[in-house]
């Protein structure tokens, strides 16, 4: 019923919506545990580093020279990290299990669903899952006085874009994984993004050589976009460039993921 209703509204093809609906049905069985696992980590970082360490640091200056409390500086980065974590968890760990061990997609392909619809449906669900984490985190930010409801409403669509990027990136990466042991590499890369994407210090504070690497991180662009919406300090031109970079990342990564999924499932 939900699938047919979404199709009539023009949300997507039958195959794409069916994949999303299937994942949502699984999610409903443990929704509270899944939400808690995705939201707990960024909240703990916000309270421990943003509030705890922030009491020692005090205010921090943005790119435009304006000073803001350290917790307000860190919060948008934790929001972007929540979107990344939700998308990666779905498109790397769960997607890999469904494809390599459960062999779920072999059964799905016996229906009219095509490989690109599997890829788009999985990406759509990963984005929704990341958005659920971000919605809870944004409500916490509003409750702590770190954002207004209006700014939170503007930030939520931006978190969807971050989720799409890391969902596509994670899905592309998962098609190259050989076994569960390769997850260690994924976790290492994800942690590197988290630590070196202007999450805790401004980009300008990094050494020149390292700064260029930081600027290449898609999470840096997501943090810049969300920080500009929620805190300010970024010009409209800078935010537009960040959004454009995220779109480019998403398109390239999804193209790779769709091609790899078709090759693996339809040799």
pLDDT, position 117: 86
Q: Residue 53: is its pLDDT beyond 60?
A: yes
**Which residue range is the domain that position 185 belongs to?**
16-265
Residue 66's Cα: distance from chain center in Å? 28
State the Cα–Cα distance between residues 197 and 192, nearest whole angstrom. Answer: 8
**What pLDDT was estimated at residue 241?**
93
Residue 214 lies in a domain: yes
Helix (H) or strand (E) holding 60: strand 59-61
> Is pLDDT of 253 > 90?
yes
Residue 115: pLDDT band (50, 70, 90) is: confident
The answer to whether residue 146 sits within a structural domain is yes
pLDDT of residue 94 exceeding 80, the answer is: yes
104: pLDDT strictly greater than 90: no
| Number of helical H runs and strand E runs in the chain | 13, 2
- What is the number of structural domains in the chain? 1
Tell me if 10 is assigned to some domain: no
Mean pLDDT computed over 56-82: 86
Can you tell me whether residue 110 is helix, strand or coil?
coil
**108-112, 138-142, 221-225, range with the lowest pLDDT:** 108-112
Q: Is the pLDDT reported for residue 55 higher than 90?
A: no
Q: Which of 64-68, 141-145, 181-185, 219-223 has the lowest mean pLDDT?
A: 64-68
Q: What percent of the chain shows pLDDT beyond 90?
A: 27
Give pLDDT, residue 37: 67
C-alpha to C-alpha distances, 53 to 45, 63, 97, 100, 155, nearest whole angstrom = 10, 21, 38, 43, 25
Mean pLDDT confidence for 93-121: 84
Please check whether residue 2 lies inside any domain of the structure. Answer: no
Is the residue at 117 inside a domain?
yes
Is there a domain that residue 115 lies in? yes
Q: What are the tens digits of pLDDT across the range 22-42?
A: 878 877 776 666 666 667 778
């Amino acid at each position: 019923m939900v699938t047919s209703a979404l199709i009539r509204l023009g949300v997507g093809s039958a195959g794409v919506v069916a994949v999303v609906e299937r994942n949502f049905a699984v999610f409903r069985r443990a929704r509270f545990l899944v939400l808690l696992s995705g939201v707990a980590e960024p909240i703990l970082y916000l309270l421990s580093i943003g509030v705890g360490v922030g009491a020692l640091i005090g205010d921090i200056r943005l790119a435009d020279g304006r000073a803001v409390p350290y917790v307000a500086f860190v919060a948008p980065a934790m929001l972007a990290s929540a979107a990344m974590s939700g998308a990666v968890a779905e498109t790397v760990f769960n997607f890999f299990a469904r494809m390599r061990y459960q062999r779920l997609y072999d059964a799905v392909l016996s229906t009219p669903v095509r490989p690109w619809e599997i890829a788009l449906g999985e990406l759509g669900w990963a984005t929704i899952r990341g958005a659920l984490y971000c919605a809870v985190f944004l409500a916490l930010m509003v409750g702590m006085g770190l954002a207004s409801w209006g700014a939170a409403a503007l930030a939520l669509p931006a978190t969807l874009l971050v989720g799409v990027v890391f969902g596509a990136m994670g899905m592309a990466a998962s098609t190259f994984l050989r076994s569960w042991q390769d997850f260690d590499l994924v976790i290492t890369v994800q942690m590197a993004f988290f630590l070196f994407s202007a999450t805790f210090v401004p980009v300008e504070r990094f050494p020149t050589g390292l700064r260029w690497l930081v600027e290449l991180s898609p999470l840096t662009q997501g943090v810049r976009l969300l920080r500009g919406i929620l805190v300010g300090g970024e010009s409209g031109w800078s935010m537009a460039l960040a959004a454009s970079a995220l779109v480019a990342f998403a398109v390239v990564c999804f193209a790779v993921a769709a091609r790899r999924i078709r090759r693996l499932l339809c040799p």
